[in-house]
Amino acid sequence: MGAAFDPQAQGSPETVTDGRGRILAIRRLSVLDRLRLFKAAGPVLAENHPWFGMAVLATSVAAIDGVPVPMPANELQIEAAVSRLGEEGLSAVAMTLDQEDGESTETSAGNLHGTLT
């Protein structure tokens, strides 16, 4: 068995508890991480701003309850990460990143606090 995920060892001490009570460790995506996310999403979805915004939020989760979450490598893995986090997880990540950046991730993430239809 491996050791519990240590967000400080990854250079990102930020954690947040979502609406389901899960502790999410947040990683800041590097330029290389974003480049790989564009590749994983493919050319069409990378241009779909609401979809890609949600993908960025899901990819920004490094661990859930201390269990590491690998970076997704394709569209199905991105969608699985979004599904796993759900509205509660994605909203918690968006609010955390908004606080750090001082800008709205919500707009680029498909208006998570509004209606997802």
Query: How many CB atoms lie under 10 A from the CB of residue 42?
Result: 13
Write down the domain spans for the chain: 27-101
pTM over 0.85: no
> What SS3 class is residue 2?
coil
The first and second tokens of residue 49, run together, are 């701003």
Instruction: List beta partners, residue 64.
Output: 24, 67
pLDDT tens digits for range 19-53: 999 999 999 999 999 999 999 999 999 999 999 99
Angle between helices 49-59 and 31-46 (to 10 degrees): 150
Alpha carbon of residue 101 to chain centroid: 15
pLDDT tens digits for range 52-107: 999 999 999 999 999 999 999 999 999 999 999 999 999 999 999 988 665 544 44
